[in-house]
Amino acid sequence: MSGANGHDAVEVISTKRDRGELSTSQIEWVVDAYTRGDVADEQMSALAMAILLNGMDRREIADWTAAMIASGERMDFSALSRPTSDKHSTGGVGDKITLPLAPLVAACGVAVPQLSGRGLGHTGGTLDKLESIRGWRAALSNEELMAQLESVGAVICAAGDGLAPADKKLYALRDVTGTVEAIPLIASSIMSKKIAEGTGALVLDVKVGTGAFMKDADRARELAEVMVALGTDAGVRTVALLTDMSTPLGLTAGNAIEVAESVEVLAGGGPADVVELTVALAREMLAAAGRDDVDPADKLADGSAMDTWRRMIAAQGGDPDATLPVAKESHVVTADTDGVLTRLDALAVGVAAWRLGAGRERKEDPVQAGAGVVWHARPGDSVASGQPLFTLLTDTPERFDRALAALDGGYDISAPGSPYQPTPLIIDRVD
């Protein structure tokens, strides 16, 4: 269908197919026409594939992102009494960082409007985790969100349908057409929502490794650079950390069990890697918002981050004192030899948790609050034959066999005394 400015879908597809640059006018037209239904799914699929194969330059990506933003509403937090800073993770296994991070940054005087999503496949969703808390609700009106940001300082909730509706439509299409990996489309998808959200500063946690969306460090760095450029060009102070996702974070992958681990971190304990990344991201968020005079480690130690967590959960109808759901069935996997655990593959653990019911294959699938995997050793730890390595949790025990198959080959135990060289959790910083 041809638009008022003379563009049509075949012309736009052909331009990118032939390695041409799309003009600002072409981009604005095709994103708007697709959102309205005037460009068919099969036409947008062809364009997405052409973008995957032939790429976009910085101007094209910026124009595409702006067109996605223009498809919906923009939020404005300028009326708040404190600056705002947000974080986005590209997703991983055991990545519960948002849960302790949002109240921690809020306890330091910076408001956190954390619009989050649900899990799909082997990566968990923040909203699924929080919904294991009795009474907690993900859906807030814009008025409720603003009021909670002012009173509590932190909100973790679902993004409304009004933010970048073009992205919602295109994301679903990319998922079924083999075009998810296109860096221009990944970057514009993430950044259109974050810029439309209206935060003043943004810290990106770009995961690298087997359990990450980006397996290759060079590709992850390229994605980080594109997103930082998009944020900066839009007037949002943006920085990215590249972080390791070859080994899962913490000691749990699931929903309720990750909430429990997050509460341990807020109580001043928890696994060292979860604490390290939470504090590192908090420092970046605070610095980007102009509040690097506060050390977030102090707010974990003095209990104020925990106080903010309790207020945040209660403000969204949750009971912070409620007992978390527990799976009905469990299965323990033990070490078959003495030695040193030298590898624990994040993808294997993530797929096992997903198969146990902690994740979903399709958007409409339910998840089990209590399902997941607990691991009792981390790479570098010595283990003894017969010692528990994993506890698998589910309400449906027929799932155990497929979860065990996912873990098979997903870890290595080397001879006693074998050297282990840990990889750094934070690989690089892009600003």
Please check whether residue 223 is in contact with residue 206, taking contact to mean a CB–CB distance below 8 angstroms: yes
Please check whether residue 84 is in contact with residue 247, taking contact to mean a CB–CB distance below 8 angstroms: no
**Residues with Cβ < 8 Å from 19, sequence gap 6 or more?**
54
Query: Exposed, middle or buried: residue 384 (CB in 10 Å: 0-12, 13-18, 19+)?
Result: exposed
Q: Which of 86, 167, 205, 345 is catalytic?
A: 167
Please check whether residue 342 is in contact with residue 420, taking contact to mean a CB–CB distance below 8 angstroms: yes
For residue 330, list its beta bridge partners. Answer: 393
304 carries an active-site annotation = no
Helix (H) or strand (E) holding 394: strand 388-394
**Residues with Cβ < 8 Å from 315, sequence gap 6 or more?**
148, 151, 152
Distance of CA 267 to the CA centre of its chain: 23
| CA 391 vs CA 146, 248, 270, 383: distances in Å | 41, 15, 18, 15
Only one residue has tokens 């003009």, namely 23
DSSP, collapsed to helix, strand or coil, labels residue 52 as helix
Q: Which of 87, 88, 122, 129 is catalytic?
A: 88
How far is 312 from 155, CA to CA, in rounded Å? 7
DSSP, collapsed to helix, strand or coil, labels residue 317 as coil
Please check whether residue 118 is in contact with residue 87, taking contact to mean a CB–CB distance below 8 angstroms: no
- Strand 411-414 vs strand 339-344: parallel, antiparallel, or unpaired? antiparallel
Q: Which of 7, 193, 221, 299 is catalytic?
A: 193
**Residues with Cβ < 8 Å from 170, sequence gap 6 or more?**
34, 44, 48, 68, 185, 189
Q: Which of 16, 96, 122, 174 is catalytic?
A: 174
174 carries an active-site annotation = yes
- The set of catalytic residues is 88, 167, 174, 189, 193
